[in-house]
Structure 1
């Protein structure tokens, strides 16, 4: 197939690109490199089936040109502002990128009848109250402008299924981690903790550290993203993906550092947008896509640490 992948130079996007190319598809990546980096695509630089365009999903004329020239079968829409604190500090940028940009993508896909796989987030959910996990009918809570913009975009995506019959699916991966994730301030908790451990620094936990996360290894996430595009069974649906196991940030830090004395607690930068418990119920993905995670948390952390050591990002 001929595929458009927005945000394909980002952390999850480059793994989605890798899987699509391995499956033999032609992939056009559109990325403005605000979060991603061309270096993430170095592995595929010589693949004739990969094309890269630097540009914004807010550039309507560029989108029109790409859709007219390439004639896509699927659009995997991962391009977005992704940082919760940034959305609190500057909600306009997040709204434009995540909601308005998604609308522009939808309009092109409607004109050319291209399936849309929309990458949303588990951050749209209200906290999990027990160990049964969060399924797709769980209450949502826009606790940050990031979550609010994603919910707005989700509703637009699903409206194009109901109003126009355009094949669309909303996917909500839980906290994804692994190789190629940033290890600095905009990175994920696993990458930051591992980097600090290897650098001999303390692992700083925001707040009390009792908040839990369901951590999904990035290759499992990419497989989920790709399969959502291939299957008609999920058209018009919202689908979760996660490990199905949560861990407190305190326990995660101890698992990574192996030494409680290297862990400290600091004031939370956005306590109002914290979700106290995140635990995924991925039974819908298993039922409709025959998908389930394959990499354990311990193995995923081992692979992440090995990558950070290898790339010398300490």
Structure 2
């Protein structure tokens, strides 16, 4: 197939691209490099099916029009987004424009070319898990940050094109994803940040009391899930979760990585109003619809991520 990946130089996007190339699809990437770098995709130049990278902003309709005219894509995996919760609180307009308005421009072209759209949403749209069975796609949503609000708005636009125009679309909601190529600074990549700081001999800082839990999904498992959603006709018109079905408190995660309570420090939370106390995924729908389940345990995933971070340090 001919496939476009928006945000394809990003952390999850580069793994989605890698999986598509291994499956021998022709793949194009568009990314504005606001949250990534081209080093992430250097290895793809060795693939015959990699058709190139366009540096551009998907809020600019002309950028997208030129790509669609050239590619006439079968599927678009839409991963480009502003993803930082605190940034969305500080500057909600930018997040709304990047995550919602840009998605509208993409939908219009997908409709014109009848291109299936896989929309990358987030577990941050949910309210907290209320039991040990985990959050299903039918559980309540709660836009506790402008980031979550922009993603929910975009989800609804995406699904409206399925119902109004019979456009094949899927909304995917992966839980907290980690692994190689994730940034080791800033917000979001808690596993990568903790590992990076431990290797540098720094204190691991936890926002708040550390009792908040996360369901941590290894990035290659996430990429397999996202790609599978694009391949499946059964997934059309659906919202689908992906996670491991196991959550861990940030306190316990920090101890697992630091191996020393003396290396852990609690600091004041930067956005307690947008914190979700318990994130635990129920991935039964993905299992039933896509025959998908996670393969990499948290312990193995941490080990792989640490090896990658060490290799980056060694190469500097």
Shorter-chain TM-score category? over 0.9
- 2:200 is matched with 199
Give the Cα–Cα distance (whole angstroms) in 1 for the partners of residues 171 and 17 of structure 2.
Answer: 19
Counterpart Cα distance in 2 of 1:239 and 1:156: 16
| CA–CA distance in structure 2, aligned partners of residues 295 and 176 of structure 1 | 12
1:15 equivalent in structure 2: 15
Structure-1 separation of matches of 2:54 and 2:46: 15
Partner in structure 2 of residue 135 of structure 1:
136
Q: Deviation digits for residues 78-109 of structure 1, max 9, x if unmatched?
A: 00000000000110000000000000000000
**Which structure 2 residues correspond to residues 119-130 of structure 1 after superposition, within 5 A?**
119-130=120-131
Structure 1 unaligned residues grouped into runs of 5+: none
Aligned to 1:149: 150
- Match of 1:45, SS state, is helix
Q: Distance in 1 between matches of 2:27 and 2:67?
A: 12
Q: Is the 8 A contact 1:181 1:187 kept in 2?
A: no
1:31 aligns with 31
- Alpha-carbon shift at residue 55 of structure 1 (Å): 0.2
* Gap runs ≥5 in structure 2: none
Aligned to 1:92: 93
User: Residue by residue, what CA displacement relative to the aligned partner does 1:98-146 show, whole Å, maximum 9, x if unpaired?
Assistant: 0000000000000000000000000000011111100000100000000
SS at match of 2:306: helix
Aligned to 1:164: 165
Superposed CA deviations along residues 238-262 of structure 1, whole A, max 9, x for unmatched, are 0000011000000000001111110
Query: Could you tell me how far apart the structure 2 residues matched to 1:37 and 1:48 are?
Result: 21
User: How far does residue 187 in structure 1 lie from its aligned partner after superposition?
Assistant: 4.6
* Alignment correspondent of 2:72: 71
Write the distance in 2 (CA, Å) between the matches of 1:237 and 1:70: 26
TM-score (norm 2): 0.98
| Structure 1 residue ranges, 4+ long, deviating more than 6 angstroms after superposition | none
SS at match of 1:69: helix
Partner of 1:216: 217
User: 1:306 is paired with a residue of what secondary structure?
Assistant: helix
Residue 61 of structure 1: how far off its partner (Å): 1.0
| CA shift for structure 1 position 6 | 0.1
Q: Do the aligned residues in 2 keep the contact of 1:217 with 1:300 (CA within 8 Å)?
A: yes
Q: Secondary structure at the match of 1:53?
A: strand
2:84–2:188 CA contact under 8 A, matched in 1: no
1:40 is aligned to 40
For 1:256-271, list aligned pairs within 5 A: 256-271=257-272
Q: Is the 8 A contact 1:5 1:27 kept in 2?
A: yes
Shift of 1:47: 2.3
Other structure's SS at 2:234 match: coil
Question: How far apart are the structure 2 equivalents of 1:194 and 1:111?
Answer: 45
Quote the Cα distance in structure 2 between the aligned partners of 1:39 and 1:92: 29
Instruction: Return the alpha-carbon distance in structure 2 between the equivalents of residues 89 and 45 of structure 1.
Output: 38
3-state SS, counterpart of residue 183 of structure 1: coil
Give the match's secondary structure for 1:27: strand
Give 1:229's aligned residue.
230
Secondary structure at the residue paired with 2:215? Answer: strand
Calculate the aligned-residue CA RMSD, in Å: 0.9
Residues 140 and 58 from structure 1, CA distance in 2 versus in 1: closer, same or farther, beyond 3 angstroms?
A: same
**1:186 Cα offset (Å):** 3.6
- Cα contact 1:134–1:278 (8 A) shared by 2: yes
